Amino acid sequence: MTADRAGPVVDTPYGAVRGRYERGVAVFRGIPYAAPPFGPRRFRPPEPPHPWDGVRDAGSFGPTAPKPPYSEAFAHYLSDPVVPGDDCLNLNVWTPEPGPAARLPVLVWLHGGALTRGSSAVPVYDGHAFARDGVVLVSLNYRLGVEGYGLFPDAPANPGLRDQLAALRWVHASVAAFGGDPDRITLAGQSAGAISIGALIAAPQAQGLVRRAVLQSGPPEAAERDKVRRMVRRMATRLKIPATAEAFAAVDRDLLLRTQAEAGRLSSPVLGGPAFGIVVDGDIVPRDPLEALTEGDAARDVDLLLGWTRDEYRLWLVPGGLMDHVDRLGPVALAGAMARCHCGHEVPRGYRALHPGASTAEIVGQLVTDHLLRRPLHRLADARPGSSYVYEFAWPSSLPGLGACHALELGFVFDTGDVPESRKLAGEGGPRELCDVMHGAWVRFAATGDPGWQSWDGSRPVRILGDGAPYTAHGPRDRELALWTADAAQESVPVGGAPPARGTELASAVRRLRRTMRARPH
């Protein structure tokens, strides 16, 4: 590493980059880790970037991947800046001590956004606090939506996940020059970023690249291939083209994004339906990632930090007044949730008994949250006792109705609660003490593998991070999760020799719910 009056200069495998010193931390933005994924490289696996001569300026965020904007209802709470340009496979580095002698722990951040939105340029993800506290923070962009997760007969699956793997390999090979230790890389992400991490640490090609992993509000999972194909076919029908990568590559990019947004308008964690996702492809994802991590030997030496927010579902249901809409639908919404969660009547009946004052929307939201997040993350922790640490974020936003919703913890993890983009979701008055606790735990985990509380064992300890001092609860909400086990056992023994008639009637309820939703402003 060298430095001049313009900032620190670091050599990478493809050329030198010049960063900036900001508040005592060296920052490098927009470094390409792969070539622009357009032209002949569109819908193809990432290729190495073109080397450059001289020193490349790394003072600004690089281009973001093509993506549609959030709807007005969600944009009120979530920020998603757009940086134009084709060179969107880029990353950023915050480091307190650029140079190979430092050997500091590294945290690589994968943003969320349902694999269709988001970027490393979101101000909430600023890495200054991690670098200030001795951790090299790397954040990156990857292909999104149909460009990154469309499933075509004439192109490899999961190009967005392949982008992430290429970035991880870049970090492993290059981070020492920025002061990082390639043997102490923690891969961290939230929502779709966490789902991606589950697939990456299970991937044969990534074994040995990661020492630790943080999965925030996203379990290891693989989407149904037909679900992704239906999304592509919806877009192809609207565009009046074949459902092939060649045909999609010929479509104007802005038109493709508008069509993607329209085709996915009713896809959500609550409603399900066609959506983009990581699929089993026989290569980078040879089997379902959760199965690989719980039943196989994948990532057995990787320490895990896993968790969720208490009221995940409120970010899915509050924007646009969907909570009230679900309450008005009543039994139809509840039947739709049962179909979404593949459960019988005993599960929501048990939830109502445990929470007699809860509204239909709250029961529906909790069912979906437990099905999508808590149950698979519990299963992952159960399979890896001693090396897993589990938390629940329980501090409620000061904004009406949001509670401790999905993504609310991010400003506390990054110690960026004072930026306007964090306050869009948290409101005013986020406790400084909670920020210190959470950010400090993530720093300790990246450095040592121990966030500062009891690791998972048969007592199922969960660290509750909310109002007041953090504490450990043993088996919180196990009563609700036990209902699913009882329901599955009941389903396995048909009464009167006939299987439960849930598939047809509940699928019909989901269709009615979606038809009703089409009339709702988005």
Token readout for 505 is: 């009637």
pLDDT surpassing 50 at residue 354: yes
Supply the pLDDT for residue 508.
57
Residues annotated as catalytic are 191, 312, 406
Q: Is 453 helix (H, G, I), strand (E, B) or coil?
A: coil
pLDDT tens-digit profile of 141-185?
999 999 999 999 999 999 999 999 999 999 999 999 999 999 999
pLDDT tens-digit profile of 258-286?
999 999 887 777 767 779 999 999 999 99
Number of Cβ within 10 Å of residue 73's Cβ equals 15
- The band of 429, judged by pLDDT with boundaries at 50, 70 and 90, is confident
**Mean local confidence (pLDDT), 243-257:** 96
The overall longest dimension of the chain from CA atoms, in Å, is 82
Supply the pLDDT for residue 362.
95
pLDDT surpassing 90 at residue 104: yes
- The band of 6, judged by pLDDT with boundaries at 50, 70 and 90, is low
Considering the entire predicted model, what is its pTM? 0.94
Q: Ramachandran region of residue 361, left (φ > 0), alpha (ψ -120 to 50) or beta?
A: alpha
- The band of 509, judged by pLDDT with boundaries at 50, 70 and 90, is low
Which CA distances in Å does 464 have to 263, 327, 335, 394, 399?
A: 38, 29, 31, 7, 21
Are the beta carbons of 260 and 253 closer than 8 angstroms? Answer: no
The distance of Cα 318 from the centroid of its chain, to the nearest Å, equals: 20
Mean pLDDT of the chain: 92
What's the CA gap between 80 and 68, in Å, rounded? 10
- The band of 9, judged by pLDDT with boundaries at 50, 70 and 90, is very high
- The band of 129, judged by pLDDT with boundaries at 50, 70 and 90, is very high
Supply the pLDDT for residue 374.
95
Render 97-123 in DSSP notation, one character per residue: S-STT--EEEEEEE--STTTS--TT-G
pLDDT surpassing 60 at residue 393: yes
pLDDT tens-digit profile of 441-472?
999 999 999 999 999 999 999 999 998 999 99
Q: What is the phi/psi pair of residue 9, to 5°?
A: -120, 130
Supply the pLDDT for residue 511.
58
Pairing state between β 15-18 and 7-12:
antiparallel
